Structure 1
C-alpha cells in the first residue's frame, strides 16, 4: 500500500507547509476583512468587483515575467522576499482601517488607498505562485510529487477555511483594524520560519537565457500539452463564472441577513468541503480515469453554485457551498498533480505562471464579473448564471478535448515511483 504520509516524513517539507499555512491563513483572513470593509463603506457590489480587477491587472500582466525570474533565481530567498513584501501590504491595510485614519480621511481616500495596496498585492502574487510551485519539487523526491501536491493543496485549503472562518468572527470580536494587525504578525512569523529551509539549487540549465525566448518556451510547452491546456482552460472558465466568493458579503448582508459571523461561516463552508475531499484523496488515488473525475467534479461544482444562488435558507446555502468546495477540492488536487507530473523541472516557474494566468487571475476577473453581474442582474441571477455557464463549459470540454476526457495518470505515477 502506498504511504499517504510520505511527503510529511520530510522535515523541510513540513516547515514549508507551516509557512504556507501561515501565509494563506493571513491572506485569506485579510481578503475576507477587506471585502467586508469595502462593502460596508460603499454598499455597492461593484466595489467588490473592483477589488478583483485591481488584483488581476498586475497579476496577469506580470505572470510570464515572474515565471521567467523564478526559473532563474534561488527559490527559498525569493519566497522570503515575497513574504517580506506581503507584510508591508498587511501593515498598510492595518493603518488604513484604524480609527485615526478613517475619521480623518475621506471615504474615497481610504477606498482608493485600499485599492492601491490590493494592486501591489496582485503584482506580488504573480511571484508567489511560481515560487511555491517550484519549491515543492525541490523539497521532496520525484517519486512522491503527487503525494506532496496533495498535502500542499490540502494545507492551502485548510488555511483558507481557517482564515475565512476566523476572519468573519474576528471582525465581530476585535474589529477590522485589529484583525489586520493580527494578519501582519502572522506574516512576519511565516517569514522567520522560511529561513529554516535551506537554499535550493537552480535546476534551470539555461541561466541567462533571453527573456522573450524563455517566455516563448514556457507558453509553447503549455499549448502543446493538451492535458495541461485542457485542465487549465476548464478550471479557468469554472472559476471565472462560478466565483461566488467575491459577492458573499452581499448575500450575507442583504439576502440571507446573517451578519459577519454568518459571512465567515459561508466562506468557511466552501473550504471545509475542499479540505474533507482533499484529505480523502491522500488515501484514495486519483490516478485512474483522472480526466473523467476532473470533469465530473467541475460539473458538480456548477450545480452546487446554482443551488446556492437559488437558496434563501441559511443552512441550505451552507450545504450548497460545502458541496461546491468539495468538488473544487477534487479538481484542484487533480490539476496540481497533472502539473507536477507533466512539467519538467527547469520550466516549473514558467508553467506555474501560465497556470496563474489561466486559473489564478480568473479568480480576480471572476470577482469583477460577479460584482458587475450582481449590480446589473442582482446577486441571485448573477450566481445562477455563473453556475449555468460552468455546466456548459464542462459539457463542451468533455466533447471537444478527448485527451483530457480520457486522461489516466497511472503510468506517469508508476514511472516516477521507479526513479
Structure 2
C-alpha cells in the first residue's frame, strides 16, 4: 500500500513537538470523555432505574453538540482555533466540577440537574470539536496528515479500551462525585497541554461574510466534492444500517449468555481491532487505491456484522466485532485523510463541522434504527439484514461515486515539509 522508494516513518508526526502536545491534549480529553460516559450512564440508571432515561440521555448528549456544530465550524474558521479550544476545555473542567458538586447529594441527586449539565457540556463540544479537527492541520505538514491521524485515532481507541474499565474501577472506589473530579482533572491536563502550544491566527478576515452565508458555503463545498461527500455519506449509511452496538446487551444476555462481564469484553472488541489497524497504518498508510480501500472497508464492516449476527459462539462473536473495528479503523483514517487533504485551511472548521454532523448523527440514529428493526424482526434478523444492506451500500457507492473510487492519497500529500520545530 506504500511506494517502495519512500518507506514511511511511523513516528513522523511525533517528531513535531507541538503534535506531541496535541496528542497529550487529545489523550486526556478522550479519557475524560470515556470516564464521563461511564459515570453519567451508571448514575442516571441508578437514580431512575429506567432504560428510557438512558435513551433520553443519549439525545441530551448529542443534540446540543449537533445543533451548534455548524455555527462552531463558522467561528473555527474566523477566530483563533487554539483560543476556542482553551475556552471550551475550560468549560468542560468547570462542568466536571459542577457534576461532582451536584453528585455529593448521593441518592438525592437531581436527575434534572444532571441533564441540564449534560446539555451545557454538549454546547461546549459543539463549539470545540470543529476547532479541534481544524487545529490539527496547522501543527503538521500535509505529508504527515495520515500519520498524525493514525496516532490520534490510536489514542482514541486506547481510551475506548481502557477508559471504561478504569472509570468503572474509579466509580466503585470513589463513587460518582470522585469520578467527575477525575474527569475535570483530565480535561484540565488537556487544557494545560493546549496552553503550551503557539497561537495560530485565523486565515481569513472575521468580516469576510455573514454567519449564514459562511455556513452555506461550507455545506456547498462538501456537497460539490464527490470524494468528500461520498466518504461522509457512506460512513453515515454504514453506521445507520450496519451498526449493532446498541444491541450488544441483548446478544450478551439472551443469545451468548455471557452476562455483564462478557458484555464489557464484547464492547471493547471493536476498539481493539481499530487500535491494531491504526498502529499498523502508521507504517503502512493506504497511499495507493485509497478510495477502493475505503469502499472495501465498508463492505468488510458489513460482512463482519453479518458474521456477528449469525454467531452463537462467544469467541467468534468477539472476533467478528474486532474485525468490524479493523474495517471501521481503516474507514475512519481514510475519511479523516480525505477531509484534511481536500479542504483549504480557511474552510477546515466548517467542513469539520459538517463531518461532525454526519458522524455524530449516525450513531444516535443508528441505535434508533437497530432498536426499531429488532423490535419487528428480532435482533438476529435485524443484525443480519443490516450487514447485508451495508455490503449493498458499498457496491452502490462503487457504482455511484466514481471519483471516490479512483481517489488516491499519494496524489494529495505535500512533497516539501518544513523541519520539525526544536
TM-score using structure 1 length: 0.88
The alpha-carbon distance between structure 1 residues 206 and 124, as it changes in their structure 2 partners (threshold 3 A), is closer
SS state at 1:83 partner: helix
Matches of 1:244 and 1:222, distance apart in 2: 28
Matches of 2:220 and 2:150, distance apart in 1: 27
Answer yes or no: is 1:73 the counterpart of 2:71. no
The alpha-carbon distance between structure 1 residues 334 and 30, as it changes in their structure 2 partners (threshold 3 A), is same
Aligned residues: 411
Task: Say whether the 8 Å CA contact 2:243–2:386 is kept in structure 1.
Answer: yes
Matches of 1:170 and 1:305, distance apart in 2: 32
Matches of 1:375 and 1:97, distance apart in 2: 35
Task: Say whether the 8 Å CA contact 1:45–1:371 is kept in structure 2.
Answer: no
Matches of 1:319 and 1:389, distance apart in 2: 21
Structure 2 equivalent of residue 303 of structure 1:
303
What do the CA deviations read for 1:28-80 (whole angstroms, capped 9, x no partner)? 23223333444556665544433332233222222211100111111112111
The Cα of 1:24 is off from its aligned counterpart by: 0.8
Answer yes or no: is 1:275 the counterpart of 2:281. no
What do the CA deviations read for 1:160-191 (whole angstroms, capped 9, x no partner)? 22213434454556555543332222122222
Which of 415, 418, 422 is the matching residue for 1:417?
Answer: 415
Structure 2 gaps, min length 5: 1-6, 418-422
Answer yes or no: is 1:11 the counterpart of 2:17. yes
Structure 1 equivalent of residue 4 of structure 2:
none
Matches of 1:80 and 1:203, distance apart in 2: 19
The alpha-carbon distance between structure 1 residues 171 and 309, as it changes in their structure 2 partners (threshold 3 A), is farther
Structure 2 equivalent of residue 264 of structure 1:
264
What do the CA deviations read for 1:290-313 (whole angstroms, capped 9, x no partner)? 111111111111222233344444
The alpha-carbon distance between structure 1 residues 319 and 167, as it changes in their structure 2 partners (threshold 3 A), is farther
Matches of 1:92 and 1:373, distance apart in 2: 38
Deviates more, 1:116-125 or 1:2-11: 116-125
Root-mean-square deviation (Å)? 2.7
Structure 2 equivalent of residue 22 of structure 1:
28
- Equivalent residue runs for 1:229-268 within 5 Å: 229-252=229-252, 256=256, 258=258, 260-268=260-268
The Cα of 1:212 is off from its aligned counterpart by: 1.6
Matches of 1:222 and 1:329, distance apart in 2: 22
The alpha-carbon distance between structure 1 residues 319 and 172, as it changes in their structure 2 partners (threshold 3 A), is farther
The alpha-carbon distance between structure 1 residues 231 and 266, as it changes in their structure 2 partners (threshold 3 A), is same
- Runs of at least 4 residues of structure 1 off by over 6 A? none
The Cα of 1:140 is off from its aligned counterpart by: 1.3
Matches of 1:255 and 1:48, distance apart in 2: 23
Matches of 1:373 and 1:79, distance apart in 2: 39
Answer yes or no: is 1:82 the counterpart of 2:88. yes
- Equivalent residue runs for 1:259-408 within 5 Å: 260-373=260-373, 379-408=379-408
Task: Say whether the 8 Å CA contact 1:168–1:265 is kept in structure 2.
Answer: no
- Equivalent residue runs for 1:115-126 within 5 Å: 115-126=115-126
Structure 1 equivalent of residue 106 of structure 2:
101
Deviates more, 1:6-15 or 1:314-323: 314-323
Task: Say whether the 8 Å CA contact 1:19–1:194 is kept in structure 2.
Answer: yes
Answer yes or no: is 1:60 the counterpart of 2:58. no
TM-score using structure 2 length: 0.88
Structure 1 equivalent of residue 136 of structure 2:
136
Task: Say whether the 8 Å CA contact 2:234–2:397 is kept in structure 1.
Answer: yes
